[in-house]
Structure 1
């Protein structure tokens, strides 16, 4: 794929993420995304032949962004678990919750589109469990982090931003202590 095509793919994915964030999953149509990206519908279809292909690319981009952030965190953290917890705390704040929720909702219409997320989560879990003598405690910390994220995504969280931050810091601290 040439540089211009990669740039256009990125622009289209960003436009689709914007449509999802602003209007919701149901409004991620090829027409709406083409308009937001400033390309013709034919141009969009050249890059992403279907809505499913576009959603799949959106999901893959979120995974890649999360992995990039985790890689940066691993440079300063002593364990994969601590790096993952730090990444989730920062990454969740960086992307609009409604963007992630819209992508997940759209992908949920076709569960196969979530397979890359499932595989990514499985790989991360295996790496964390292999790294810790107390795999059960490591798993509990990871699940607590996920609960905070999903509470926010579903607008169910009883915590203020300060309380959530304190909980996230506590999870990271426990992950660091677990590594010792």
Structure 2
């Protein structure tokens, strides 16, 4: 077991993400995170002075991972839109639904915690809307991608895995056609 002084904010946040993934949104409490990370509640509060601060860090962590993946894909893709759609496909495969739902559910209690996501989405939209001739279809592809993600997160998707894969590939192919 790690010494308490050596536990970092990143490790605490990872403990919170693990709780969310394994047990769901309602189980991400300061007491549970402190216990999972091997800290006292006071030790946890030293790093994250409130549950909102922890949730904010978790939101930022998801955004940073998604953006890192998108930027990596952008180096080899024909357009920002294609890299965005591929990154979102990877996101839904990589992030456990309970993790994202826990973060979103907790952040929904404090809508200001969702502002980084909103700002990120506005920035990405501005990047992909480079050609006025394809603007409407670009926005529709982004919206369809978001819809698939949220249906997955909420466990309400009517699509089979094969159908989702087909839809995602269609969106990527269509985005590639828009750039040629």
| TM class by smaller structure | over 0.9
Which is further off, 35-44 or 95-104? 35-44
CA 1:132/1:162 → structure 2, altered by over 3 Å: closer, same or farther?
farther
The 4+ residue runs of structure 1 with deviation greater than 3 A are none
Secondary structure in structure 1 of the residue aligned to 2:8: helix
* CA deviation after TM superposition for structure 1 residue 131, in Å: 5.0
What residue number does 1:124 align with?
124
The gaps in structure 1 that reach 5 residues or longer are none
Give the number of equivalent residue pairs.
Answer: 177
Q: Does the 8 A contact of 2:34 with 2:41 survive in 1? A: yes
d(CA) in 1 for partners of 2:84 and 2:127?
11
Q: Does the 8 A contact of 2:9 with 2:47 survive in 1? A: yes
CA 1:6/1:72 → structure 2, altered by over 3 Å: closer, same or farther?
farther
Secondary structure in structure 1 of the residue aligned to 2:130: helix
d(CA) in 2 for partners of 1:81 and 1:131?
11
d(CA) in 2 for partners of 1:157 and 1:64?
26
d(CA) in 1 for partners of 2:136 and 2:40?
51
The gaps in structure 2 that reach 5 residues or longer are none
TM-score by structure 1 length?
0.93
Please provide the CA RMSD for this pair.
1.7
d(CA) in 2 for partners of 1:66 and 1:34?
26
Which is further off, 96-105 or 132-141? 132-141
1:6-27 Cα shifts (integer Å, max 9, x gaps): 9611111111111112222222
CA 1:123/1:6 → structure 2, altered by over 3 Å: closer, same or farther?
farther
Q: Does the 8 A contact of 1:132 with 1:179 survive in 2? A: no
What residue number does 2:36 align with?
36
